[in-house]
Structure 1
Amino acid sequence: MYSDLSCPFCASPCVNAHQDRRRDYYHCPKCLAVHVPAAFHLNSALEKAEYDKHENDPDDQSYRRFFSRFFDPLCERIAPEAEGLDFGCGPGPALVSMLEETGRGMEKYDLYYYPDKSVLQKQYDFVTATEVVEHLADPLKVLDTLWAMLKPGGVLGLMTKRVIDVEAFKTWHYKNDPTHIVFFHEATFDFIAERWACDLELIGNDVAFLRKTTMP
């Protein structure tokens, strides 16, 4: 049994929030994030095997409609000539295709499918990570890295479903994916925005935009 595990965001001691037949879930009383302890994380081979089951065809219109609630407000917040990176694009980078169709330049990175790390050494007008951050074992480190890639005034767009509260979490379908190991609350995003001293916009129940200050 685990006790007093640290939050992967604010490092506060966490308490057990829920157990199911596969794993434990811990809740942070400060930033309200929920995470799965490392002992229950899948290894790389099992994780990729789960991702390989996804059928993410960039030409699938239903898949594109799924992205529209992120894509449409993103396009309202970035310039027509903006250059971006899609982080964790998966085997079928539909969002990349959609943004390229608008004339925006895109790079893509994925640990398993597009592992060219040279794209992580560049600066971008915007960075996207859709249905990605809930898979991260060290989410704050990765988010800090993505934030550092943004030019002044740049936008980091994230898409991940948010925790409402611990009671709702217990019956939440989103936790059942074995590759989902960290879950954000609105307060988690508030913590991140305060850490970066940036503007935060939350849209619906799964879209967040963080804009970097234009000051050097």
Structure 2
Amino acid sequence: MVQKQRDFLICPACSLLYQDARSLPSPLEEQSRYELHRNDPGDKGYIKWLQSFIHRSVTPWYKGGRILDFGSGPRCVLSDLLKEKGFPVVSYDPFFAPQWPKEKDFSLILLCEVLEHINDPVNAFRRLHSLASQGSLLSLKTQFLTADPLDPESVTSFKKWWYKEDPTHIRFYNPRSLEILGERSGWELISQDGTSLAVYKKTASPEGSRS
């Protein structure tokens, strides 16, 4: 994947830091990058990392019903681990498992290192809202911005931040931007650890929707 000049903007309302649309990777470039990801079921370190996500982001929140692994990647390792543990899981990925789920009653939706890749998160969350039963949960992992991106020192830190070096990482969140994303898409932010984990609960219809 050819590295492009990347320009970033800041939302004045919520401090979301996002990549300028003019410099976004193409779908083909995205897929090529994802195919390089080492999602190896034989990698003990990777499995340990996923087990930690399950321990912190699945087990405490799961109350029965179907789980959707949204953005499952070229190899559905997280889905496979959950199935081994007896969880009923459906996998979806726009590149590698593109069949949109037929089910409309998911009780838990997982986005493990996915949110930072999504160019239109409000639309994505609204679509997920339509797949979830009332009161269902959405649990995610992504690296949060831990300082005000408008602060000059934060700008310097961002330039050195390893997480932004993946050219398919195009949006970076803090607690306020996570909260506003939920408000605009029908999800209430009920938990976040200030670092990388957040949980939403499906509530009312998305903002501006009559459904």
Band of TM-score, shorter chain: 0.7 to 0.9
Partners of 1:140 and 1:63 lie apart in 2 by: 29
From 114, 118, 129, the equivalent of 1:147 is 129
From 61, 64, 69, the equivalent of 1:77 is 61
Q: Aligned pair count? A: 193
What is the letter of the counterpart of residue 135 of structure 2?
G
CA offset at residue 70 of structure 1?
A: 2.2
Query: Who is 1:8 aligned against?
Result: none
Tell me if structure 2 keeps the 8 A contact 1:58–1:93.
no
Tell me if structure 2 keeps the 8 A contact 1:190–1:200.
no
- The 1:28–1:199 alpha-carbon spacing in structure 2 relative to 1, beyond 3 Å, is closer
CA offset at residue 134 of structure 1?
A: 0.8
1:61 aligns with 2:48: no
Unaligned runs of 5+ in 1: 1-19
Tell me if structure 2 keeps the 8 A contact 1:193–1:200.
no
Query: Who is 1:114 aligned against?
Result: 97
Partners of 2:198 and 2:112 lie apart in 1 by: 10
Query: Who is 1:86 aligned against?
Result: 69
CA offset at residue 29 of structure 1?
A: 2.1
What is the letter of the counterpart of residue 177 of structure 1?
D
Tell me if structure 2 keeps the 8 A contact 1:87–1:109.
yes
Q: Secondary structure at the match of 1:75?
A: coil
Q: How do 1:30-41 residues align onto structure 2 when only pairs under 5 Å count?
A: 30-41=13-24
Tell me if structure 2 keeps the 8 A contact 1:125–1:151.
yes
Partners of 2:131 and 2:8 lie apart in 1 by: 31
TM-score by length of 1: 0.82
CA offset digits 1:26-83 (Å, max 9, x no partner): 011221110111110111111111111111023432112212332112211112x421
TM-score by length of 2: 0.83
Unaligned runs of 5+ in 2: 205-211
> Which structure has the highest strand share of the two?
1
What is the letter of the counterpart of residue 46 of structure 1?
E
Partners of 1:147 and 1:42 lie apart in 2 by: 27
Query: Who is 1:177 aligned against?
Result: 166
- The 1:125–1:59 alpha-carbon spacing in structure 2 relative to 1, beyond 3 Å, is farther
From 105, 109, 120, the equivalent of 1:127 is 109
Q: Secondary structure at the match of 1:92?
A: coil
CA offset digits 1:142-201 (Å, max 9, x no partner): 012112211122110111111123213232111111111111111111213444362421
